[in-house]
Amino acid sequence: MFGDFAKAIGQLGDKRFQSVLLKGVGLSLALLIAIYLAFVWVIGIFVPDTLTLPLIGEVSWIDNALSIGSAFFMILLSVFLMVPVASAFTGIFLEEVSEAVEDRHYPDLPEVPRQSLTDMVMDSLGFLGVIIVANLVALVLYLLLNIAAPIIFWALNGFLLGREYYQMVAMRRLGREGAKAARRRHMPKIWLAGALMAIPLTIPLVNLLIPVLGAATFTHMFMRLEGSRL
């Protein structure tokens, strides 16, 4: 699996890899900015320019303070939301990464029909929901077992990342049911590879590369484990 990861890193210069990364991060930033602008707009509607408070008198700076405070809040929120949101958006385009890997390393494979955009969006949103809920539940363990928190984080997210990315890659060649069967056959290896993907999630900026590297790594892994069945 280290060889699979090395091959994925070696292809980071591929224009299709970079395109998927830019689209995922760009859409994520656009969403966070839109949320912030909507919040400021709501403040402008419901918070008047001036308020008269008992014992204080007329106050004219509350709406400005809330707007400035919301900017800091969005910066803080983006630290926690950027990676899962970017992963979800990037997931919509991950099939392009698998295609780029196959074109370079496995050119003899027959072409497969692309998934519909609706299916890709639904799968990505489903994965986003699962990873957020799972980490919120695990937050209790992080607080109770703070020394073991990194191991819990890597194990949990490694399982989720491995399961999702291997499923996505395998579905292109084996269909949904065939991909589930392949995943069950190799789950320990998939979990370990996912854990290796989860470790860089704690490194700022590097973590934004994980969706692309994960899709490429699991494409190589799938071909190594299941290539003889194709």
DSSP assignments along 189-217, one per residue: HHHHHHHHHHGGGGSTTGGGGHHHHHHHH
pLDDT of residue 76: 58
Which of the four pLDDT bands, split at 50, 70 and 90, describes residue 60?
A: low
Of 228, 217, 226, 229, which Cα lies nearest the Cα of 1?
A: 217
Average pLDDT over residues 54-72: 56
Angle (CA) 60 62 66, round 5°: 150
Lookup result for tokens 């809330």? 66
Question: pLDDT averaged over the chain?
Answer: 76
Please, are residues 217 and 6 in contact by the beta-carbon 8 Å criterion? no
- In whole angstroms, give the CA distance from residue 158 to residue 67: 38
Cβ contacts of residue 96 below 8 Å, gap of 6+?
16, 19, 20
Length of the chain: 230
Please, are residues 1 and 196 in contact by the beta-carbon 8 Å criterion? yes
pLDDT of residue 49: 57
pLDDT at residue 197 greater than cutoff 60:
yes
pLDDT at residue 186 greater than cutoff 80:
yes
Looking at the structure of the chain, the number of domains it has is 1
Lookup result for tokens 């395998």? 170
Residue 90 vs residue 47, higher pLDDT: 90
pLDDT of residue 70: 62
pLDDT of residue 28: 72
Residue 116: give the domain boundaries: 2-229
Cβ contacts of residue 218 below 8 Å, gap of 6+?
4, 162, 165, 166, 168, 169, 190, 193
Please, are residues 70 and 81 in contact by the beta-carbon 8 Å criterion? no
pLDDT of residue 68: 62
pLDDT digit string (tens) for 20-38? 878 877 777 777 777 777 7
Q: Which conformational region is residue 173 in: left (phi greater than 0), alpha (psi within -120 to 50 degrees), or beta? A: alpha
pLDDT of residue 62: 55
> Residue 64 belongs to what H/E stretch?
helix 62-92
pLDDT of residue 86: 63
- The SS3 call for residue 51 is strand
State the first-to-last Cα distance of the chain, in angstroms, to the nearest integer: 20
pLDDT of residue 82: 59
Q: Which conformational region is residue 175 in: left (phi greater than 0), alpha (psi within -120 to 50 degrees), or beta? A: left
For helices 149-185 and 210-226, the axis angle rounded to 10 degrees is 40
Which of the four pLDDT bands, split at 50, 70 and 90, describes residue 171?
A: confident
pLDDT at residue 78 greater than cutoff 70:
no
